[in-house]
Amino acid sequence: MIATAAPPALVAPAPYEVSFGRIAGVAPAGARHVIVRVGGRVLAARVIRGRSFDFEISLPRGEHTITVSSGSLTFVAQHVVGLPAAARPHAAQGTLDPALQSAIVPVARGFSGTSAVFVKDLVTGAGAAWNARARFPAASTLKLAIAVEVLRVLHGKPAPGSWLDAQLRRMLVESSNDSANELEVWLAGSTPAGGARVNELLRLLGLVDTDMYGGYLRDTQARRPIPGRIERRPPFGRGKYTTALDLGRLLVDVHLASGGRGVLAVRCRGEFTPSDARYLLYLLSLVPDRGKLGRYLGARPVVLAHKAGWITSARHDAGLVYYPGGVFVAAVMTWSGGETDADVLAGRVAAAALARLSNQASTRRKK
């Protein structure tokens, strides 16, 4: 509840965050209307009684500047990534979707190397999986876990342009190993100690098949292949490892936390806030790599928030696909089999999931 005695302010949306369409704040005294615009286009005009306002609208996909006018004041929220209202976080018990399973498993099994897939619709819980508990070298995918721990320790998203903001952006958007190491040092004084802190967080969230194992090799980033040491063929020994299931669950935790729900929000209450989660999703939506999960999504009205990772023989991508009917998580991990084939596999999995789940969403809307 927004206190009516508070000074005029815009509470939601906030800059440098994703938004599911909530418009909330405190209008100046005497105001009777709230008008929401994007790029000069009026999205909503609402009559208000009293000073507080809190309503939901449909935002255009992608990054925008949103202006909210009320009375003599105009509030501006820059760098807001609009997400579909149908994707608002809520709990959904996981269930097997036989049709989706039938579409995904043959694709995964046909990969020439070793593969693992986890997909779940976060609106209905319907999903599919193949080899999802198998451990693979994690590569850069665990930079997402570093970011969660940094925001949890920070108690609030970093100021735009600050050192922490710059390091988080470089680590997630450019996949900078140097920034990942710097943030682990910031967390606990060294990369081994920082990695141990990240592991504590992962165990708190119930992700037991993942190990951070210290820092990263220096001066490499995701725009080119990341050199790294693979100790042995699956199952792997020492070194960073994770599973498609754990990566998927971590992304689900972040998505749910953006609405104050889920295990991350509950177990880190007061530490990792909904604003933190929305900021993190904003950064993940800026990742430029569309050659894996985004390979066949094309110009469709979707937002892909994801983190990829690769080393010599392993290529992965894990992300949230926000589409008009909702959102699903997809994690695809591969070992050997060729770079192009691995990226094509990720793209085919995401495209198959989007086709199946979009049809389900369309059917729900017609009922």
Residue 232 has pLDDT above 60, yes or no: no
Following DSSP, what letter does each residue of 299-312 receive, concatenated?
Answer: TSS-EEEEEEEE-S
Asked if residues 343 and 295 have their Cβ atoms less than 8 Å apart, the reply is yes
Check pLDDT > 70 for residue 1. Answer: no
Q: Give the per-residue pLDDT at 4.
A: 44
Give the Cα separation of 216 and 340 in Å (integer): 24
Tell me the two tokens of residue 142: 């665990």
pLDDT of res. 362? 76
Calculate what percentage of the chain has a pLDDT beyond 70.
Answer: 93
Amino acid 229: pLDDT:
29
- Give the per-residue pLDDT at 278: 98
Give the pLDDT confidence score for residue 5 in this predicted structure: 63
Residue 291 region by backbone torsions, left for phi larger than 0, else alpha for psi between -120 and 50, else beta: alpha
* Predicted local confidence at residue 226, as pLDDT: 25
Q: How many residues does the chain have?
A: 367
Interval 358-362 mean pLDDT: 84
Least confident of 90-94, 124-128, 241-245, 325-329: 90-94
* pLDDT given at position 160: 96
Query: To which residue do tokens 């979009």 refer?
Result: 358
Asked if pLDDT for residue 35 goes beyond 90, the answer is: yes
Using the predicted structure, report yes or no on whether residue 217 has a pLDDT greater than 50.
yes
Local structure of residue 211 (DSSP, 8 states): B
| Minimum mean pLDDT range among 18-27, 34-43, 61-70, 219-228 | 219-228
Amino acid at 225: P
pLDDT interval class at 227 (50, 70, 90): very low
| pLDDT band for position 219 (cuts 50, 70, 90) | low
pLDDT band at 283 (very low <50, low <70, confident <90, very high): very high
Span 313-339, average pLDDT: 95
Average pLDDT value over all residues in the chain: 91
Task: Look at residues 151, 119, 90, 104 and name the one whose alpha carbon lies nearest to residue 273.
Answer: 151
Instruction: Enumerate residues 6+ apart whose C-beta is below 8 A from 275.
Output: 14, 17, 156, 157
Calpha distance 25→9 (Å, rounded):
5
Are 151 and 276 in contact by the 8 Å Cβ rule? The answer is yes
The secondary structure element, H or E, covering residue 76 is: strand 73-82
Percentage of the chain modeled with pLDDT above 90: 85
Please compute the mean of the pLDDT values over residues 341-346 and round it to a whole number. 96
Instruction: Name the pLDDT band for 363 (thresholds 50, 70, 90).
Output: confident
The answer to whether the CB of 304 falls within 8 A of the CB of 294 is yes
Q: Tens digit of pLDDT for each residue in 114-170?
A: 999 999 999 999 999 999 999 999 999 999 999 999 999 998 999 999 999 999 999
Residue 361 pLDDT: 80
Q: Are 104 and 349 in contact (CB under 8 A)?
A: yes
The mean pLDDT of 18-34, rounded to a whole number, is: 96
- How far is 171 from 216, CA to CA, in rounded Å? 11
- Average pLDDT estimate for 31-38: 96
> Is the pLDDT assigned to residue 235 strictly greater than 50?
no
Q: What is d(CA 198, CA 185) in angstroms, rounded to the nearest whole number?
A: 12
User: What is the pairing mode between strands 73-82 and 17-19?
Assistant: parallel
Q: What is the pLDDT of residue 298?
A: 80
Residue 356 near residue 104 (C-beta atoms within 8 A): no
- The 3 state secondary structure assigned to 236-270 is CCCCCEECHHHHHHHHHHHHHHCCCCHHHHHHCCC
Asked if pLDDT for residue 68 goes beyond 50, the answer is: yes
b/e code 334-364 from CB counts within 10 Å (16+ = b): bbbbeeebbbbbbbbbbbbbbebbbebbeee
Contact status, residue 35 vs residue 73, Cβ threshold 8 Å:
no
- With a CB cutoff of 8 Å and minimum separation 6, the contacts of 340 are none
Structural domains in the chain plus CATH codes:
9-82 (2.60.40.10), 87-366 (3.40.710.10)
